[in-house]
A and B are shown apart, each in its own frame.
Chain A
């Protein structure tokens, strides 16, 4: 499936300006050549470049955030989220990725923090844990995290001290929105392989040759198809009967079954009703 293949291969696929599939940009912009030196010693540069860094697209906003969680609580519309948990024995703060893995952690379980605190669960503990977490975030290259307003309301003193410690440490408490995808019409058929093109956009001739009889699934154009449900049902029932051989009796204004079930479309030869 090309959709799944595109998703799994969506790791900063970059194309060189001047490449074959850039369309208008190829013609209207200046492209820089990558390989220099004498032709014999020139280092060949590929037309496409792949950056494997899984966090590069999140940093620039190209990576899509998880969608569909708007009606869930807690949602997952973020790259990295900050969690502050208070257990019976202490306070734990974590930075969690939307895939569920813990990236950075700071808690009062660490003896170096606990020995400098009076209580492992109070406001000072939350503030201390926030300061330590902020420093570790900057060390890990994280400067923006998402904070769930419902889980960490800043009306509580503990949460406010924690969030303020993060801000003072240089960590912003809201992430940038992801970049809007430019809506470009059209399909780049050149970038598809032959199998992908046959799967996605099959030719009508090939479909007619290889597919089953589509006559029974004929979809009528809207102008020919009755709009109202009852009218549509009535017409289709009548059509199905006519196909089975029922005939319209003009005198009685009814559809009657064919007299000969073996050969439904044969005309009645003996004297009787006229077939209409």
Chain B
């Protein structure tokens, strides 16, 4: 159709092609001070430059490249996700007394050296925990609480407090008499182990009830057990499991005023681990509030609807959070009993099932090059249509009156189909037999 290039034309085009790649033979040697590879591709060849000494300008590093990745991420985070101003709503750290370590004596040092040399040195963990409670526990408790987002979800963004007062709480195991289950900083327990109200003890700070201002005010305590994850309607609300105020001192919770009687954890089936936070407040004055003054029976779930942030903001002049411990729990059969029999406004227990988030699908193209058309179109079909197709396929093998399934052949994948089948149809039939993809629910 088209005329072919002549031999001379080909030779001249080849020479022209090569001329672009290689400099002429006369000036193949480059000047001594020329620097190749200065930044991006430099189209100038050495023959274009005039002879002489050239001063190369040093390329400046761009501003974006002067910072490391971490610094740039910190800048980006500060710009797009600025942290709210932190607000400490708890007691000051100076209330704690630090233990003084004794200087080691020589005999003990020799003994320690001998044990360390023979790999027999073991540390007393209970002594370490005792010292930790008074020294490091507030910071560690705060970092654990931040890890579980307890501060943020209970008191609001930015608010936090150091759990200065060491709070020791434990449940008595109803199935194993004598066995106690302590509440720590997020340990996992079963609701059955938490059937009864926990035993609470805390260490009052030394200058706690000293009347420095001259006023005779007896400081009391309040205890709140709340779960920010259990609410069946709104994710922003909590259920209060226990609220006792006007407690005179450590271990005397029974002498306090019970606003909400204790209810064991009730995480619904299929919803995972829930957090249960036990907060100890210092109460400087009686809580005068109509809502709190009524003694609720606590048999209805609607009465336990709670928000710690709102509760604290209402009484922030009288309450100060001082101690914290929390645990986690998931469903077990005792929860069913509570929903069915103890809570009067719930008949049956709610059951849930995990739903994966929708996968990302880019905008559908009119011509999807290099994509198998059946898989591409299936990505954008409505799930209702796919489910309908699966159901109809299932019903083909179900007897209309007896409900029996038609038995499949023993080796269905080994039986070839009659006639010609395109490859995509063969794969679809194989997926049906193997119950893959949309055919997962065929049985």
- Is A241 interfacial (CB 8 A cutoff)? no
- Is A105 interfacial (CB 8 A cutoff)? yes
A222 to B371, CA, bound (A): 12
Q: A103's contact among B119, B143, B273, B366, by CB below 8 Å, is which?
A: B143
Select the stretch in B53-61, B108-116, B192-200, B316-324 that faces chain A.
B108-116
A34 to B345, CA, bound (A): 11
Q: B271's contact among A14, A22, A110, A184, by CB below 8 Å, is which?
A: A14
CB-CB contacts below 8 Å: A148-198 with B = 161, 181-191
Is A62 in contact with B232, judged by CB distance below 8 angstroms? no
- Is A116 interfacial (CB 8 A cutoff)? yes
Is B148 in contact with A55, judged by CB distance below 8 angstroms? yes
Q: Which residues of chain A come closer than 8 Å to B355, judged between CB atoms? A: 13-15, 21-22, 48
Is B364 in contact with A181, judged by CB distance below 8 angstroms? no
Minimum C-beta distance from B4 to chain A (A): 11
CB-CB contacts below 8 Å: B134-159 with A = 135-136, 140, 143-144, 146-149, 153
Q: Which residue of A lies closest to B381 (CB)?
A: A186
Is A131 in contact with B437, judged by CB distance below 8 angstroms? no
Q: Which residues of chain A come closer than 8 Å to B391, judged between CB atoms? A: 24, 27-28
Is A187 in contact with B382, judged by CB distance below 8 angstroms? yes
- Is B188 interfacial (CB 8 A cutoff)? yes
- Is A69 interfacial (CB 8 A cutoff)? no
- Is A269 interfacial (CB 8 A cutoff)? no
CB-CB contacts below 8 Å: A1-53 with B = 2-3, 6-7, 9-10, 12-17, 21-25, 27-28, 32-37, 41-46, 48-53
Q: Which residues of chain B come closer than 8 Å to A119, judged between CB atoms? A: 116
A152 to B375, CA, bound (A): 45
- Is A205 interfacial (CB 8 A cutoff)? no
Q: Which residues of chain A come closer than 8 Å to B302, judged between CB atoms? A: 43
Is B143 in contact with A187, judged by CB distance below 8 angstroms? no
Is A187 in contact with B381, judged by CB distance below 8 angstroms? yes
Is A132 in contact with B123, judged by CB distance below 8 angstroms? yes
Q: Which residue of A lies closest to B117 (CB)?
A: A118
A2 to B358, CA, bound (A): 10
- Interface size class for chain A? 35 or more
- Is B11 interfacial (CB 8 A cutoff)? no
A183 to B360, CA, bound (A): 12
A42 to B344, CA, bound (A): 9
Q: From known contacts A45-B232, A55-B147, A185-B381, infer whether A131 and B123 are also in contact, taking CB-CB under 8 Å.
A: yes
Q: Which of B185, B367, B383 has the most CB of A within 10 A?
A: B383
Select the stretch in A83-91, A134-142, A257-265 that faces chain B.
A134-142
- Is A242 interfacial (CB 8 A cutoff)? no
Is A52 in contact with B235, judged by CB distance below 8 angstroms? yes
- Is B270 interfacial (CB 8 A cutoff)? yes
Is A33 in contact with B358, judged by CB distance below 8 angstroms? no
Is A16 in contact with B350, judged by CB distance below 8 angstroms? yes
Is A41 in contact with B344, judged by CB distance below 8 angstroms? yes
Is B273 in contact with A59, judged by CB distance below 8 angstroms? yes
A185 to B377, CA, bound (A): 9
Q: Which of A41, A42, A124, A201 has the most CB of B within 10 A?
A: A124
A253 to B3, CA, bound (A): 8
Minimum C-beta distance from A231 to chain B (A): 12
CB-CB contacts below 8 Å: B305-340 with A = 327-328, 340
Q: Which residues of chain B come closer than 8 Å to A75, judged between CB atoms? A: none
CB-CB contacts below 8 Å: B209-249 with A = 228-229, 232-235
Q: Which residues of chain B come closer than 8 Å to A56, judged between CB atoms? A: 229, 271-274
Minimum C-beta distance from B140 to chain A (A): 7
CB-CB contacts below 8 Å: B154-197 with A = 184-188
Q: Which residues of chain B come closer than 8 Å to A142, judged between CB atoms? A: 186
- Is B347 interfacial (CB 8 A cutoff)? yes
Q: From known contacts A44-B233, A188-B358, infer whether A35 and B273 are also in contact, taking CB-CB under 8 Å.
A: no
A113 to B135, CA, bound (A): 12
Q: From known contacts A10-B357, A22-B353, A131-B125, infer whether A103 and B272 are also in contact, taking CB-CB under 8 Å.
A: no
- Is B75 interfacial (CB 8 A cutoff)? no
Q: Which residues of chain A come closer than 8 Å to B264, judged between CB atoms? A: none
Minimum C-beta distance from B102 to chain A (A): 7
Is B229 in contact with A52, judged by CB distance below 8 angstroms? yes
Q: Which residues of chain B come closer than 8 Å to A92, judged between CB atoms? A: none
A62 to B272, CA, bound (A): 10
- Is B417 interfacial (CB 8 A cutoff)? no
- Is B121 interfacial (CB 8 A cutoff)? yes
- Is B380 interfacial (CB 8 A cutoff)? yes
Q: Which residues of chain B come closer than 8 Å to A54, judged between CB atoms? A: 148-149
Minimum C-beta distance from B230 to chain A (A): 9
8 contacts between A and B (CB under 8 A): A15-B355, A41-B344, A53-B275, A55-B147, A112-B135, A116-B121, A136-B140, A185-B381
Given A16-B352, A105-B143, 8 more contacts at CB 8 Å? A12-B271, A14-B270, A22-B355, A45-B233, A49-B350, A101-B147, A186-B379, A186-B438
> Lowest 7 CB-CB distances: which A-B pairs, in order?
A36-B347, A34-B350, A112-B131, A139-B184, A56-B272, A118-B112, A141-B186
